[in-house]
Amino acid sequence: MLQVLPKNGTLTPNTSNPHEAVEFINSYIDKFYCETMRVDISFMNILDACYVSTICSAKHYVKYPQGKINWKISSELVKELNQKLELGNSDYIL
């Protein structure tokens, strides 16, 4: 089966609504093999980025306990706020 990869290898939700972004990313995790993935949420505000990265990291961890998600973010505050909630599968890139 062929897998359609996101543009430039980075998955970018096509919405700024955090609930729709979670649905989009979780749907991608369900449909495709993505043990290691890159997601760009740098266009989101800090609270929305924290919400999306936490919920989607949990979903990804359930499917790929040894996997990694590299989150492209716009502020170091996202990493700081999520630090205590970490499942260990997220890296944050500015």
pLDDT tens figures, 55-88: 999 999 999 999 999 999 999 999 999 988 877 8
**C-alpha closest to that of 94 among 23, 41, 33:** 41
Is the pTM for the entire model greater than 0.95?
A: no
55 falls within a domain? yes
Does residue 28 sit within a domain? yes
Cβ–Cβ under 8 Å, residues 81 and 50? yes
The reply to whether 19 falls in a domain is yes
* 78 C-beta neighbours (distance < 10 Å), count: 26
Q: How many domains does the chain have?
A: 1
Q: Which residue has the tokens 């996997």?
A: 67
Is 1 a member of any domain?
A: no
**Residue 52, domain extent:** 7-93
**CATH number, domain at 85?**
3.30.750
Question: Rounded to whole angstroms, how far apart are CA atoms 22 and 4?
Answer: 19
The structure tokens 């924290």 sit at 50
